[in-house]
Structure 1
Amino acid sequence: MADNLLDIRNLRIAATIYPPGEKAAELVIVKDVSLTLEKGKVLGLIGESGAGKSTIGLAAMGYGRGSIRLSGQVWLNGRDILAGSTRDLRRLRGKEVTYVSQSAAASFNPAKRLMEQIIESALEHGTASKSEAEARAVALFDDLGLPDPENFGRRFPHQVSGGQLQRAMTVMALVPEPDLIIFDEPTTALDVTTQIDVLAAIKKAIRNTDVAAIYITHDLAVVAQVSDEIMVLRHGEKIERNTAEAIITRSVEDYTKALVSVRSIDHEEKRPTDNPVLVARNISAAYGNMVQVLDDVSVEVHAGQTLAVVGESGSGKSTLARVITGLLPPFEGDVMFGERSLSKALVNRSKDDLRELQMIYQMADTAMNPRQTVGTIIGRPLEFYFGLRGAEKRKRVAELLEEIEMGDGFLDRYPAELSGGQKQRVCIARALAAKPSLIICDEVTSALDPLVADGILKLLLRLQKIENVAYLFITHDLATVKAIADSIAVMYQGRLVRYGPKSQVLAPPFDDYTDLLLKSVPEMKIGWLEDVLETRRMESAGN
């Protein structure tokens, strides 16, 4: 249609895969998807991992990774870009269409100043002179609330926060004055307080420049704040498309309804026992030449219960886990495990100390050896701690796979053959194989889509009842905290600002920081972002 900036027709995206020991096969990622987008409008693409969201976003730029093959038509500004040459595509990328990725930190060159990188595309495509591009960037810095706009571009990437760097990447996408921007999970890696600022900045930038955008995410509450319409995808197919308000309040398809109603976990808070499994007492820790990260932190975890440690990036959550595991010896304080004091350094801890304290990481992809089968990965702790071999080990691995609701059919599979949720389940089984008393869960659901994350949380709670294992759950997601925690430790700038049973920590009156965290959790409601920003404005004016 002539009125549409972007018109994707019958898009099919496939890739060639090479399963171990088998012939090459075709994997269809996107199946006959069509969509349109008008100038100045925002279309949200939502769905679980592997739904094809990012692949469609990249296809809107005429781009396919690796062996991916695109077929169908992608009309941008009245021409089919898939029919164009490689040279034609290079001319439009960074000019007519730009891209904002999930990880701004990985997208900037650490050796170059921000301004040099932000204006590079505009200079390359000749959409502005250097002075014009810099002036546009400074105006956008100011518009998006970045500090000291005149001099912000002189900084290096490591000299700004994650939220500031994500906004800087949005500026980089806007400086060439494109017609279309692809936002690919731009707030997923951010804590909730920073996410508010970045969402507000993105929405303001779109409104002020009249650019069209595709906003890719797995968080329906987030996409509802910035999108005019939302398309729901699953397994590479379109499930439903409607206005954001209609998707939230009166969705038609069962899958969409499940996305809207996710996180309805009913977890009854348990009372602390007399003898905690772990006590971290008066912990102070620092990196390098005494850059203090933790300041007099004391917490305890009880058998069969979950302590959620919550706070924004840089609050000290993961550093506390590093101290407890012995990876970072504290300069003050000690860690008690049961009746014994743990050595501050990992190298001095006993084999039993290592066995009883396990850890599950955020990124399951990097936590497993891609060349080992699931059976080998889960079997390693069984060999190391209990000396199991052969049929006895294989039998126990199969039992653990049943516990995580996967079954022994996965024994001989490799990580590349698993979904994101399945990979995280394998990591859970590996931790359970050691029969630990405590498992530290470090942001284990933050990289997963809501439905898969919901399944992982329910699995962890079920296993906790069976094994009576304690969890120390590190997260910045308050919805997760409400769903699984028995007690909560709120951290801010290395200090404990609120601590106790969940029912007390989440009950008013609140300290200023806990109040800010709770108010920053996105709600499945159109206009929620504007309400939060207006409340902040009124509170600021009152002060």
Structure 2
Amino acid sequence: MADTDHDRPLLSVRGLRLGVRAHASGEPLRDVEIVHGVSFDLRKGRVLGLIGESGAGKSTIGLAALAHARGAMRITGGEVLLDGENILALDNAGKRGIRGARVCYVAQSAAAAFNPAFRLGDQVIEATLRHGLATRAEARVRAVELFRMLGLPAPETFGRRFPHEVSGGQLQRAMTAMALCPRPELIVFDEPTTALDVTTQIGVLAAIKSAIARTGTAAIYISHDLAVVAQIADDIMVLRNGETVEYGPARQIVERPVAAYTRDLVRQHEIRHDEVRDQSGRFFEMTGICASYGSVPVLSDVSLHLSKGQTLAVVGESGSGKSTLARVATGLLPPRQGTVRLDGADLPPRLNGRSKAHLRRIQMIYQIPDTAMNPRQTVEEIIGRPLTFYHGLRGAQKRARVADLLDQIDLGPAFLDRYPAELSGGQKQRVAIARALAAEPDLLICDEPTSALDPLVAAGILRLFLRLQQERQLSYMFITHDLAIVQAIADSVAVMHRGRLVRFGPRSSALRPPFDAYTDTLLASVPQMRVGWLDEAIARQAAGIASPD
């Protein structure tokens, strides 16, 4: 019996294969397959989550569902049936006709999706007008409806703003409005909340979920965070190396995963540092810190301390002052008031006033290692520079020490002659850690060092931090907006909000109720690894109920 229109999936992907044109040593140009025969169905009003590490093929498959292959990618096999029609067989004009009208894409970086010279409202309705789907007046009414649906402020006038006049979370919702405006049948969301802090993320997730439910649009939601995908998706496909690892209902994937890799994804949320240690020591201390950028105050009377060999987690949403605190600690931003002390001695407020010993003892590890590495230097040169600068090592002695450091971070001497471009994200971050360790520091200031990494890679980096701390008695000031990381590594916690310290103390008490309103909101915004958590969080917010213990 033939499928009725009601029974037939909106989107059917069958045996999808993608490759990239590449040379193999001495061989002619050929296709290297990176997606290997992936298949799935998606019905109207439902969401399919694509989950997996970097390089798994998530974004490549999502774009192929729009009949698009990025850069040197080529769709080499299979079918993508949109309402029964194989859109891969369309000519270029046919593909352009469906993109932005029947199928739309929401990227990770909303800032890159908008032209800063034009008002948001004009950009939101652009595709709708280009495809002749509505008059300008009708499109503007539709945009205002979407701004209201997505919880944007002053929806009647929001579209008059320019991109730089709204927050990151608001810009991400505006990009979702831009995708929904033409009333598409399918939207691909590609990591739309990855760059957002947890309190902003929950609002965007709730807005996206509500908009999908109210419009009946089908969606593919791509992420490396299984806890996030579990809140949005009806079904989940777990991908690795371009192949399907596991595919099924979201509840089954989260609660009863079959594949070992999926079980690892679930378990990575369970890393915990449960040891309780005496935190009365003041090996590192910041007292009465006030700091500004020009005439704009950023930090106000912040005081905290850290014991030797322990970890202080500094948490808060974007703009709370976390990274500014790190800049003050390292001397990159002299405070207007207050002192920074290490091992009982005051540190000069400015970087250029600190001695080589001061610089050696406090090292920094950044969120994006690419920005802190010279792409023209080998791993040996990158790690070797502090060995020469601080310890005078050269030649064979320096190379041997670099190899030893690579062993400590679980890479090994095979990486000595590689360049940053030849390393994965997790490998680059390990090299950044080795470079910091080369100075033989006492305190590592870590600014979101795992937020750009896949969950399993990030979990490995956290375990490395814990092991190195035990072996070397290192102290960490760990800046993060991820409360799961706080549970994994912190001895003490400092919660920042709008430049002020709103909570500080041992983790056991800082994360125990009763909470101040802001800390309660922060804790309640961390996605939990269970289906239905987002709906419960939204209901609690609407009712004004505090988060559960």
Q: 2:399 aligned with 1:400, yes or no? A: no
Look up the match of 2:362: 357
Q: 2:125 aligned with 1:119, yes or no? A: yes
The number of aligned residues is 540
Q: CA deviation at 1:427?
A: 1.0
Q: Distance in 1 between matches of 2:447 and 2:407?
A: 24
Look up the match of 1:228: 234
Q: Deviations over 1:110-143 (max 9, x none)?
A: 2221112111111122112211111111011111
Indicate if the aligned counterparts of 2:272 and 2:487 stay in contact, CA closer than 8 A.
no
1:452 corresponds to which of 452, 457, 470: 457
Q: Distance in 2 between matches of 1:540 and 1:27?
A: 53
Superposition RMSD in Å:
2.0
517-526 or 74-83, which deviates more: 74-83
The amino acid of 1:182's aligned partner reads V
Look up the match of 2:341: 336
404-413 or 21-30, which deviates more: 21-30
Q: CA deviation at 1:23?
A: 9.0
1:425 corresponds to which of 425, 430, 442: 430
3-state SS of the aligned residue for 2:341?
A: strand
Look up the match of 1:138: 144
1:93 corresponds to which of 99, 103, 106: 99
Q: 2:477 aligned with 1:472, yes or no? A: yes
Q: Deviations over 1:169-210 (max 9, x none)?
A: 110110111111010111111111111111110011101111
Look up the match of 1:535: 540
Q: Distance in 2 between matches of 1:50 and 1:71?
A: 18
485-494 or 529-538, which deviates more: 529-538
Q: CA deviation at 1:64?
A: 1.9
Look up the match of 2:198: 192
Q: Distance in 2 between matches of 1:472 and 1:20?
A: 46
Instruction: Give the structure-2-normalised TM-score.
Output: 0.94
Residues 205-216 of structure 1 correspond to what in structure 2 (within 5 A)? 205-216=211-222
Indicate if the aligned counterparts of 2:291 and 2:299 stay in contact, CA closer than 8 A.
yes
The amino acid of 2:408's aligned partner reads E
The amino acid of 1:367's aligned partner reads A
335-344 or 468-477, which deviates more: 335-344
Q: Distance in 2 between matches of 1:115 and 1:30?
A: 37
The amino acid of 2:291's aligned partner reads A
The answer for unaligned runs of 5 or more in structure 1 is none
Label 1:394 to 1:270 Cα distance change in 2 as closer, same or farther (>3 A).
farther
Q: CA deviation at 1:257?
A: 1.2
Look up the match of 1:513: 518
2:76 corresponds to which of 71, 75, 93: 71
Look up the match of 2:111: 105
Q: Distance in 2 between matches of 1:156 and 1:347?
A: 39
Q: Distance in 1 between matches of 2:355 and 2:541?
A: 51
3-state SS of the aligned residue for 2:544?
A: helix
Q: Deviations over 1:469-488 (max 9, x none)?
A: 11110111001001100000
Q: CA deviation at 1:240?
A: 0.6
Label 1:388 to 1:185 Cα distance change in 2 as closer, same or farther (>3 A).
same
Indicate if the aligned counterparts of 2:279 and 2:306 stay in contact, CA closer than 8 A.
no
Residues 315-326 of structure 1 correspond to what in structure 2 (within 5 A)? 315-326=320-331
Q: Distance in 1 between matches of 2:33 and 2:331?
A: 45
Q: Distance in 2 between matches of 1:471 and 1:492?
A: 21
Q: Distance in 2 between matches of 1:204 and 1:263?
A: 26
Q: Distance in 2 between matches of 1:91 and 1:368?
A: 43
The amino acid of 1:38's aligned partner reads R
Q: Deviations over 1:363-409 (max 9, x none)?
A: 12333222222222111211222221111111111111111111111
Q: Distance in 1 between matches of 2:90 and 2:370?
A: 36
3-state SS of the aligned residue for 1:262?
A: helix
Label 1:19 to 1:483 Cα distance change in 2 as closer, same or farther (>3 A).
farther
Indicate if the aligned counterparts of 1:62 and 1:82 stay in contact, CA closer than 8 A.
yes
Q: Distance in 2 between matches of 1:84 and 1:7?
A: 16
Q: Distance in 2 between matches of 1:309 and 1:105?
A: 27
Label 1:243 to 1:383 Cα distance change in 2 as closer, same or farther (>3 A).
same
Q: Distance in 1 between matches of 2:190 and 2:15?
A: 22
1:526 corresponds to which of 531, 543, 546: 531
Instruction: Give the structure-1-normalised TM-score.
Output: 0.95
The amino acid of 2:180's aligned partner reads L
Indicate if the aligned counterparts of 2:281 and 2:306 stay in contact, CA closer than 8 A.
no
3-state SS of the aligned residue for 2:404?
A: helix
2:390 corresponds to which of 374, 379, 385: 385
3-state SS of the aligned residue for 1:215?
A: strand
Identity of aligned residues (%): 62
Indicate if the aligned counterparts of 1:277 and 1:437 stay in contact, CA closer than 8 A.
no
The amino acid of 2:443's aligned partner reads L
Q: 2:175 aligned with 1:160, yes or no? A: no
Look up the match of 1:294: 299
The amino acid of 2:81's aligned partner reads W
Q: Distance in 2 between matches of 1:152 and 1:22?
A: 56
Label 1:496 to 1:263 Cα distance change in 2 as closer, same or farther (>3 A).
same
The answer for unaligned runs of 5 or more in structure 2 is none
